[in-house]
Amino acid sequence: MSTFLSREVQQGLEEARKRERKRSNRLRIRVDEQVWPILRLWDDGFVLEAEEAPHLRGLVDLYDGARHLSQCLIIASAEDGGEMHYEFKRTTAAHDKAPLDFARDEDAPVALIGL
């Protein structure tokens, strides 16, 4: 049995893998009104498809579906095999409520009942 695949078959398989990665991954980068799907994410950076992604630099928002995960300061670092690699310079977690500017007691009442 031969393990040789023609160039057309290899390209077709690679395109199918890319489509599946895009469909299964909910992570997205958003800049203003433009959105790009993330192929892979790790602690120090992420990868976008090179054909679609410009050389991004600056502040971007990281989303998991509709949930805002963080604001990131990024820089494009390298292009390799049709993928554009970006590195985080800074990452700030997004919160769904404003932080408190005072310390809350653990045994503080939740609400006050009026008479």
**Which of 45, 37, 34 shows the shortest CA–CA distance to 76?**
45
The chain-wide mean pLDDT, for the chain, equals 84
Q: Which sign does the torsion angle of CA 90, 95, 101, 105 carry?
A: negative
Per-residue pLDDT, averaged over 26-50, amounts to: 89
Fold of the 26-93 domain: Thrombin, subunit H (2.40.10)
Domain ranges of the chain: 26-93
pLDDT at 22: 60
User: Over the stretch 65-112, which tens digit does the pLDDT of each residue have?
Assistant: 889 999 999 998 888 888 899 999 999 988 877 777 888 888 888 888
pLDDT at residue 24 greater than cutoff 70 = no
What predicted TM-score, i.e. pTM, was given to this entire model?
0.66
